[in-house]
Amino acid sequence: MRWWLYLLAGGISYLLFALAYLPAKHALYWLTPEDFPVVADDAQGTLWKGSATQTFYRDIELGSSAWAFRPLSLLIGQINYQIDLSDNKQKISGDAARNFITGEYVVSALKGSIEATNIPSLIGQPFVHLDGHLDIDIKRIKVLNQQVTAASGRLRWDDAIIQKPVRTKLGSLQFDLSGDETMLKTHIKDIAGPLKVDGVVELLPDGNYRINGKVKQTDSSDQGLVSLLQNIGRPLADGSTQIEYSGQL
């Protein structure tokens, strides 16, 4: 008799059902790893569908959040959620998934905007101060073992200002992202900005990076920034400056 198979299937189904409808505030407490940098306060609903009035990433407030489970993702070996974050100045929405076979995390169809003042803390560079608005249109980012293994999409930084270490206005910049587990690449170019920019930043898995590009001043360029770039770059015949730099994060 196979009654024990039906009993096992029924038991597993019951546990999954109970977990899915466990109140979110309890489920998040038990399921979130201690070193996970995201905290949701005043969580309501369930793991199936819920919300939180405040959401923090490494002490950075991202506003309210809402999530909804996509059950069809189980058919392709993933646990996938539609995620929405918003406050008075920022709004982000997209899909966040984890492949329970490979352990890979995948963020896709991520769109919205955030304040540039939050970017340095998000990437672990708090000594840099920025201003402006960052529009996000990310097709896909994959992360495995805390390493980005694939990326594609576009970022646009409007009203771009560097406050520190050197204060300067940059207008609008566009960042096109691409790459795989061997190299991540960002193509940077200006959009009618005061400083003409065309360059590429390459990041290797070991943390080494390379910057290669050209900048050219216009009549509205910040002269302090131009002088700095000319000191670290190589002048070219067309009046632009070749920038070549490498280092490690």
Long-range CB pairs of 4-11, under 8 A, 24+ apart, other chains included: none
55-to-38, 59, 67 alpha-carbon distances in Å: 7, 9, 12
- Which pTM value belongs to this model? 0.80
pLDDT in tens, 26-36: 555 554 555 56
Nearest 5°: the CA angle 195, 197, 198 is 165
Give the model's pLDDT for residue 147: 81
Q: Measured between alpha carbons, how far is 66 from 44 in angstroms, rounded to an integer? A: 9
Query: Cβ distance 178 to 155 under 8 Å?
Result: no
126 pLDDT above the threshold of 80: no
Amino acid type, 164: K
Query: Cβ distance 93 to 111 under 8 Å?
Result: yes
List b or e across 22-61, with b for residues whose CB sees 16 or more CB atoms inside 10 angstroms: bebbebbeeeeeeeeeeebeebebbbbbbbbeebbeeeee
Q: Measured between alpha carbons, how far is 156 from 173 in angstroms, rounded to an integer? A: 6
Q: Collect all residues with Cβ–Cβ distance below 8 Å to 217 and sequence separation of at least 6.
A: 195, 196, 226, 239
* Mean pLDDT, rounded, for 57-75: 81
pLDDT in tens, 182-241: 889 999 999 877 888 899 999 888 778 899 998 887 776 677 676 777 777 788 888 788
20 pLDDT above the threshold of 70: no
Q: Measured between alpha carbons, how far is 139 from 141 in angstroms, rounded to an integer? A: 7
Query: Between 24 and 152, where is the model more confident?
Result: 152
Selection from 173, 237, 160 nearest residue 201 by Cα: 173
